[in-house]
Amino acid sequence: MIRYLKQHQIDRNKWDSCIQSSVQKSVYGCSWYLDVICSDWDALVEDDYESVMPVTKNSKYLMNYIYPPFFAQQLGIFHSAAADDQVCARFLNAIPKVYSFIEINLNTFNHNIPESFATKSNRNYILNLHPDHSVILSGYSENLTRNLKKAVKNELQINRNGSVLDVITLFRSNRGRFVENLKDSNYHDFARLCNAVEKNAALKVYTVSSSTGEMVAGAVFFEFMGTGIFIFSGLSSTGKNLSAMPHLIDTYLKDVAGKIKILDFEGSNDQELARFYKSFGSTECVYLQIKKNQLPPPWKWFKN
C-alpha cells in the first residue's frame, strides 16, 4: 500500500536506508539533501519504506504543484532491484489530485509511465571508472587527448582544496550571466547544499589557475556510495582557451580511480556539452521528464 506522508510524518532513518539500499543509491533522494533543495517536501511511501518517492511541492495563487528543484537532476521513485515493473505506475497514479500541475524528472530506473502523463526524454552521461587510470585514459577521444597535452604545455596549476564560493563567482561572471532562471537565492541554496554534502557525504572542489595565478576553471563534485557527480562548474574564456576544464576533470579521475565506481556528468541535452562528456568515454543514459497539467483556464493554457 502506498501512503502519502507529510514531512513531519516521515521516518528519516527508514527513508535514508531505503535510498541507500535502492538500485538508484542517489544522493539526490537523501532526506538531508531534499531539506536544502526543497524545504517543503512530502513523500509517497510504499509499505514499510520498501519504495519511496519525494514530493517536491509548492503552491501559487492557491494552486498546488509539484516541480523539479534545482541541483537534483533526477528524483522520482527509489526502489529495490526486486521491485516489480509496475512500481512507477503505482506511485505516479497515487499522487493526490490536489496537485493541479505535476512536473517531475524521474530517474533512469523509472519506466512504465501511465499514459495520463506527457513524457520527454533527457540525456545524461555516465563514466564507469576503472581502478587503473590508464584504462580510463584509453577511452578518451583524440581531441580530448590533444587538449590535455595542450593543458600541460600551458603550465596550469591544480588546487584540490578550492572554494565553493570562488567557483560560484567564476560561473556567475561567465556563463551564469546568460542563465536567467538562476537567482541569488539559488546560489545561496547551492552553497548551503555543499555544506550539507560535506557533512553527510563527500565534497570535492577543484580549481585551476593559469601560469600567472588567475583562477580560470573550477568544479564541485559530490560523492555518495561509489558515485561522483559533476554537479557545478565555472570556466572563463581564458580557461577555455587553455583547456583548463579537460585538465581539471582528468586530474579528478586520476585521484578517484579505484575509490569510486562512477562519474555522473549530469547531462546534457546541449550538443556541445554532450560531445565534451562523451569525449571521456562516457555512456549516454536517458531519464524521463513527466508532466501533467490539470490547471483551470487560463493558467492551463499558459503552462502549455
List phi, psi (to 5°) of 262: -140, 140
Query: How confident is the model over 197-220, as pLDDT tens digits?
Result: 999 999 999 999 999 999 999 999
Distance, in Å, from the CA atom of 56 to the CA atom of 151, rounded to the nearest integer, reads 42
Fold equal for 2-123+287-303 and 130-260: yes
Distance, in Å, from the CA atom of 101 to the CA atom of 119, rounded to the nearest integer, reads 14
Distances (CA, A) of 41 to 4, 49, 92, 215, 293: 11, 16, 16, 37, 20
Domain edges within the chain: 2-123+287-303, 130-260
pTM, entire model: 0.94
Contacts of residue 27, Cβ cutoff 8 Å, sequence gap at least 6: 33, 197, 201, 222, 224, 225, 227, 229
Q: Is the pLDDT of residue 57 over 60?
A: yes
Domain spanning 130-260: CATH superfamily: Gcn5-related N-acetyltransferase (GNAT) (3.40.630.30)
The C-alpha cell that represents 215 in the structure block: 583562477
pLDDT of residue 268: 82
Domain spanning 2-123+287-303: CATH superfamily: Gcn5-related N-acetyltransferase (GNAT) (3.40.630.30)
Contacts of residue 145, Cβ cutoff 8 Å, sequence gap at least 6: none
Q: Is the pLDDT of residue 62 over 90?
A: no
Per-residue pLDDT band for 300 (boundaries 50, 70, 90) equals: low
By three-state DSSP, how is residue 250 classified?
Answer: helix
